[in-house]
Amino acid sequence: MPVSSCQRVFYRHHFSVRDYDLSATLNSGQTFRWTLVGEGWEGVVDGRFVRLSGDLSGITAETVEPVGPWDWLADYLQVQVDYAAVVAALPRDAVFQAARAYCHGLRLLRQAPWECLASFILSSTKQIGQISRVIEALCEQYGEPVRMPPGRKQRHSFPTADRLAPCSERELRGCGMGFRAPYLQAAARAVSAGQLDLESIRRLDLPSARRVLTGLKGVGPKIADCVLLFAYGFDGAFPVDVWVHKALQRYFFADRPMTPRQRLHFSQTHFGPMAGYAQQYLFHYIRRPIK
DNA sequence: TTCCAGGTATTAC
DNA sequence: GTAATACATGGA
């Protein structure tokens, strides 16, 4: 229902969900377009401005336009997930005993495949803050403006593959993405030309899906697993970046050197069917601010 | 100034 | 097969 206050009109919906740490979830490196404004998080999902605020009873969402059913956002937020079952499937070692406490309510989102793929192509050897800047520049340049509440800076949808496919490498570099420009361009062209069907990946098993994504230039095992975990919901995907590598080395290998082969074997055997959640816990846990 | 960032492709042993 | 190196850009 519409809610008026002064000149503002928001359409509101409340998702009743427990054990959901909205801030940790939106701020844990799986998505790059949310910003904290006052008490809430504001971003663009499916081409719409969305404001989210979390409390003990759940999540309140606000938009500036009526949106009909809220399934699209429920799916994005993954509010239906049996979180107790996820937590129960995490390892029972000493590391996760501590990580469980610190990361309680940390969730995985279900993002749009193209946005997720493109975003992580742009992520390699960049700090999270810089990834956000590059993505925002790309959206401003090539996305469509979205309707905003009064007083907010204009924001834009994430540009489609069709919109990016005709761009030159030079144009893309203008958004600050450096050597990643040809990778993004090639991916956009593959999707736009129909050579890469992102929807069909949903029906593959994890190894096959990995092979499809790593077939793209600039997409290796880490980026592929990010997309499989954050966009497609492959709970067994286990992206290993510098932070997760550090966590594995410190917490499970006593800071001793660890060969890629040892790391792979350990990560495939220790974390179980919810390895992807375990990975997100490790990432969030090892990056915690030092007290 | 120098170093490094949610990696990957290329080249060298 | 496994180990170095280059790669753009900008913030710390």
Kindly determine whether the C-beta of residue A176 is less than 7 Å away from any atom of nucleic acid strand C: yes
Q: What percent of chain A has pLDDT over 90?
A: 92
User: Over the stretch A158-174, which tens digit does the pLDDT of each residue have?
Assistant: 999 999 999 999 999 99
Residue type, A81: V
Over residues A234-254, the mean pLDDT reads 95
**What residues of A act catalytically?**
222
Q: Is residue A250 over pLDDT 60?
A: yes
Chain A 36-95 residues in 7 Å CB range of strand B: none
Nucleotide nearest to A124 (CA to C1'): B7
Tokens of A206: 């994890």
pLDDT for A257: 81
User: Over the stretch A263-273, which tens digit does the pLDDT of each residue have?
Assistant: 999 999 999 99
**Residue A8 banded pLDDT, cuts 50, 70, 90:** low
Kindly determine whether the C-beta of residue A263 is less than 7 Å away from any atom of nucleic acid strand C: no
pLDDT for A6: 42
DSSP chain A: -EEEETTEEEEEEEEE-SS--HHHHHTSSS----EEETTEEEEEETTEEEEEEEETTEEEEEESS--S--HHHHHHHTTTS-HHHHHHHS--SHHHHHHHHHTTT-------HHHHHHHHHTTTT--HHHHHHHHHHHHHHHSPB----TTSPP-BPPPPHHHHTT--HHHHHTTT-GGGHHHHHHHHHHHHTTSS-TGGGGGS-HHHHHHHHHTSTT--HHHHHHHHHHTS--TT-----HHHHHHIIIIISTT----HHHHHHHHHHHS-TTHHHHHHHHHHHHTPPP-
Over residues A99-111, the mean pLDDT reads 98
Q: By C-alpha distance, which of A14, A84, A94 is closest to A54?
A: A14
**Chain B: nucleotides under 7 Å from a protein CB?**
5-9
Q: How far is the CA of A50 from the C1' of C10 (A)?
A: 29
Nucleotide nearest to A128 (CA to C1'): B6
Calculate the average pLDDT of chain A: 95
User: Over the stretch A163-222, which tens digit does the pLDDT of each residue have?
Assistant: 999 999 999 999 999 999 999 999 999 999 999 999 999 999 999 999 999 999 999 999
Q: What percent of chain A has pLDDT over 70?
A: 97
Kindly determine whether the C-beta of residue A257 is less than 7 Å away from any atom of nucleic acid strand C: no
pLDDT for A291: 56
Q: Is residue A152 over pLDDT 80?
A: yes
Nucleotide nearest to A259 (CA to C1'): C2
**Residue A20 banded pLDDT, cuts 50, 70, 90:** very high
Per the structure, the residue whose CA is closest to nucleotide C8 at C1' is A178
pLDDT for A2: 52
pLDDT for A80: 98
